Amino acid sequence: MPDDRLIRILARLSTADGAANQLCVVCADVTEMSGAGIMLLQDGSPRGSVCTTDEVSRSIEELQYMLGEGPCIDAHRQHAPIVEPDLAHPSTARWTEFARSAVDAGARAVFGFPVSIGDVHLGALNLYRDRPGPLTSDQHADALVVADVAARAIITMQAAAEPGELGPELEASGNFRFVVHQAAGMVSVQLGVPVAEALVRLRARAFSTGRSVTDVADDVVARRVRFGDVVDEP
Q: What is the pLDDT of residues 114-156, one digit of tens each?
A: 999 888 899 999 999 999 999 999 999 999 999 998 898 888 7
Which residues pair with residue 95 across a beta bridge? none
Q: What pLDDT does residue 229 have? A: 66
Q: What pLDDT does residue 199 have? A: 80
Q: What pLDDT does residue 15 have? A: 59
d(CA 177, CA 22): 20
Q: What's the average model confidence in pLDDT over 69-90?
A: 95
Q: What pLDDT does residue 13 have? A: 66
Domain 4-169 sits in CATH at 3.30.450.40
Domain segments of the chain as ranges: 4-169, 178-232
Task: Tell me the three state secondary structure of residue 48.
Answer: strand
Q: Is the pLDDT of residue 16 over 60?
A: no
Q: What pLDDT does residue 216 have? A: 85
Q: Which residue in 85, 150, 88, 90 sits closest to 115, CA to CA?
A: 150
